[in-house]
């Protein structure tokens, strides 16, 4: 397929919004190289997410060249900095909230920028959709370890996070077996259980608790008791941070004075651990992986996907496909409307093939609606742990 050709030389900008994520630097690198190699364009980086547009004198925006991207492919984080504290449409200053979104097109006009590539998750792309409505020429690149953005089969960062979580589960197996304990491992994902599901299967978990399948503590105990009866004196429970009891709500921890955005998901592993210990008398330990899942070097798969997204974003700019997000569909890079990508959160299908495969392996989801009952009955009939 021939390379798309730009009509005239351009300057474009790239911004990394939201939290850090393995693969961000691979996107930046791909955007700079593709823009220069294929089109002879200049690339500018917006520092610290949307906050870069609020810095006086456009000092939050600067040229990126080959020296800036040298050696960054395997690096975690983002050389541009990231921030999920800035909502351009509601900036709080001295007790007042103002809409500062006009700063984006104004800065672009001053610097001669013809397009803005926004790399981020749900929040960043919601802002991108609003900017597109204001006729700002934007192209989105999906990133999130949670894998919950619609429109794309997978987001970069997810593979790395699953790898980190799986390694943790592998390591906890030996401690659990040695001490005859139950280990509860809390993983990220917010309201989507993709990391818990994939790392639980890959790590050989006995129970996986997902936001999409509210759990019953008694059913967790049933699975653990079944293992004990068959001589398996330890169990591994992987818990998504957004998991909740049937009829209950997710567990949140209070935000501190330095974290004014909102209360944050977290702490459900401790709750589950207490529930198990009280019902069984077995020693239980909770481990919260936290931000270790989104730090460090990206996996090879994430480096490749992020690179493909970066190349695709520049080509989308060249073709004038604004208001769209690059996406992986059917193994190919394409684009989808940003508005449709953020219209619905992409969550685990409780009746999907991955959940079904996990159940076939004997993994319990402790479903409060009794969805695991036929499975347990079948296991008991066959005398398997």
Q: CA 175, 178, 179, 184 torsion: positive or negative?
A: positive
**Which run of H or E residues covers position 336?**
strand 332-337
Question: What are the φ/ψ torsions at residue 11 (nearest 5 degrees)?
Answer: -120, 130
CA separation for the pair 175, 252 (Å, rounded)? 28
Residue 209's closest CA among 180, 231, 187, 227?
Answer: 187
For residues 289 and 241, is the Cβ–Cβ distance under 8 A? no
214: burial class by Cβ within 10 Å (0-12, 13-18, 19+)?
buried
Q: Name the pairing type of β-strands 11-16 and 264-265.
A: unpaired
CA separation for the pair 373, 370 (Å, rounded)? 5
Q: Give Cβ neighbours of residue 204 (< 8 Å, ≥ 6 apart).
A: 169, 173, 236
Residue 15's closest CA among 98, 135, 123, 152?
Answer: 123
CA separation for the pair 206, 361 (Å, rounded)? 9
Q: Please list the active-site residues.
A: 146
| Half-sphere exposure at residue 342, Cβ-oriented, CA atoms within 13 angstroms | 21
Residue 187's closest CA among 264, 249, 241, 251?
Answer: 241
Token couple for 377:
């009955």
SS3 (DSSP) at 60? coil
Token couple for 92:
């709080």
CA separation for the pair 51, 55 (Å, rounded)? 7
For residues 185 and 272, is the Cβ–Cβ distance under 8 A? no
**Residue in this structure with the two tokens 């800036």, named with its chain if needed:** 68
CA separation for the pair 174, 80 (Å, rounded)? 40
């Amino acid at each position: 397929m021939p390379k798309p050709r730009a009509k005239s030389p351009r300057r474009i900008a790239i911004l990394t919004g939201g939290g850090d994520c393995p693969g961000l630097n691979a996107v930046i690198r791909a955007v700079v190289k593709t823009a220069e190699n294929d089109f002879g364009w200049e690339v500018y980086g917006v520092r610290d997410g949307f906050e870069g547009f609020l810095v006086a004198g456009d000092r939050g925006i600067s040229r990126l060249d080959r020296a800036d991207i040298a050696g960054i492919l395997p690096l975690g984080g983002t050389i541009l900095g990231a921030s999920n504290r800035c909502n351009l449409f509601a900036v709080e200053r001295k007790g007042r909230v103002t809409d500062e979104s006009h700063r984006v097109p104004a800065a672009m006009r001053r610097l001669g920028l013809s397009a803005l590539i926004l790399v981020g998750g749900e929040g960043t792309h919601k802002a991108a959709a609003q900017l597109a409505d204001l006729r700002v020429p934007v192209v989105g690149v999906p990133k999130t370890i949670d894998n919950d953005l619609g429109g794309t089969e997978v987001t970069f960062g997810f593979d790395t996070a699953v790898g980190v979580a799986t390694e943790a589960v592998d390591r906890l197996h030996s401690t659990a077996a040695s001490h005859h304990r139950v280990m509860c491992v809390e993983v990220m994902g917010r309201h989507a259980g993709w990391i818990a599901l994939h790392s639980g299967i890959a790590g050989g978990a006995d129970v996986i608790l997902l936001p999409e399948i509210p759990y019953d503590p008694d059913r967790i105990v049933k699975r653990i008791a079944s293992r004990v009866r068959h001589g398996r004196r330890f169990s591994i429970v992987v818990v998504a941070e957004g998991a909740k009891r049937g009829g209950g709500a997710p567990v949140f921890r209070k935000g501190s004075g330095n974290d004014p955005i909102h209360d944050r998901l977290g702490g459900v592993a401790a709750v589950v651990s207490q529930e198990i210990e009280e019902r069984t008398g077995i020693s239980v330990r909770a481990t919260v992986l936290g931000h270790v899942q989104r730090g460090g070097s990206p996996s090879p798969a994430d480096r490749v996907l992020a690179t493909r997204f970066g190349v695709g974003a520049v080509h989308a700019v060249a073709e004038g496909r604004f208001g769209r997000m690059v996406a992986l569909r059917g193994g190919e890079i394409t684009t989808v409307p940003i508005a449709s990508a953020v219209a619905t959160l992409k969550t685990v299908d409780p009746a999907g093939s991955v959940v079904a495969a996990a159940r076939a392996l004997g993994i319990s989801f402790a479903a409060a609606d009794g969805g695991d009952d036929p499975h347990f009955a079948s296991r008991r009939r066959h005398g398997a742990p």
